[in-house]
């Protein structure tokens, strides 16, 4: 009897598939969590600013967002609405660069405004949450 010594094509394909899946999993696990966290903070802040802007317009109240050393604060909202909005970053390393006050309303047109956020662990990474005064706040990377 003559048995060949080697692997079948099917066995090789199964091993290659397992290696490809392991490599993809390792690549996703090694993604930079600092950048992901900063993106999450920026998206959350944009949503919070839009929420406060809508409440300001609905109630006819002048509302400001102000950055603080350990978080931020919405000023001008009724106590019940202010209590419903968070006032801290998800990650305590998040900081604000530049202007730390935004005027959110009650006027429909508020003028162009932006805030820059970064993380203490990666100060070279900066995201900008901005509006042209008409459109909603959006997140952009700063080059």
Q: Domains in the chain, please, with CATH? A: 9-141 (3.55.40.10)
In 3D space, the residue among 126, 133, 85 whose CA is nearest the CA of residue 112 turns out to be 133
Return the pLDDT at 49. 95
Tokens for 34, please give them: 């600092």
| DSSP structure class, residue 115 | E
Are residues 117 and 35 in contact, defined by beta-carbon separation less than 8 angstroms? no
- How many Cα atoms occupy the beta-carbon half-sphere of 138 within 13 Å? 9
Per-residue pLDDT of the chain (143 residues; tens, 9 = 90+): 666 677 788 888 888 889 988 888 877 766 656 678 899 999 999 999 999 999 999 999 999 999 998 899 999 998 888 888 999 999 889 999 987 899 998 998 899 999 999 998 888 999 999 999 999 999 998 87
**Which of 93, 128, 96, 135 is CA-nearest to residue 114?**
128
pTM of this prediction? 0.76
What's the rounded Cα separation, in Å, for the pair 77 and 82? 6
| CA dihedral of residues 31, 43, 128, 119 (deg, nearest 10) | -50
Q: What is the pLDDT of residue 47?
A: 96
């Amino acid at each position: 009897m003559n048995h060949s010594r080697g692997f079948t094509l099917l066995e090789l394909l199964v091993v290659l598939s397992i290696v490809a899946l392991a490599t993809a999993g390792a690549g996703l696990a090694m993604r930079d969590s600092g950048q992901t966290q900063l993106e999450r903070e920026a998206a959350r802040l944009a949503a919070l600013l839009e929420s406060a802007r809508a409440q300001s317009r609905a109630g006819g109240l002048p509302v400001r967002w102000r950055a603080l050393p350990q978080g931020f604060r919405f000023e001008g909202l009724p106590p019940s609405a202010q209590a419903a909005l968070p006032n801290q970053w998800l990650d305590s390393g998040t900081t604000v660069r530049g202007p730390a006050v935004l005027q959110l309303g009650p006027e429909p047109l508020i003028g162009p405004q932006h805030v820059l956020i970064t993380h203490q662990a990666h100060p070279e990474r900066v995201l900008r949450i901005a509006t042209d005064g008409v459109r909603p706040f959006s997140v952009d990377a700063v080059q």
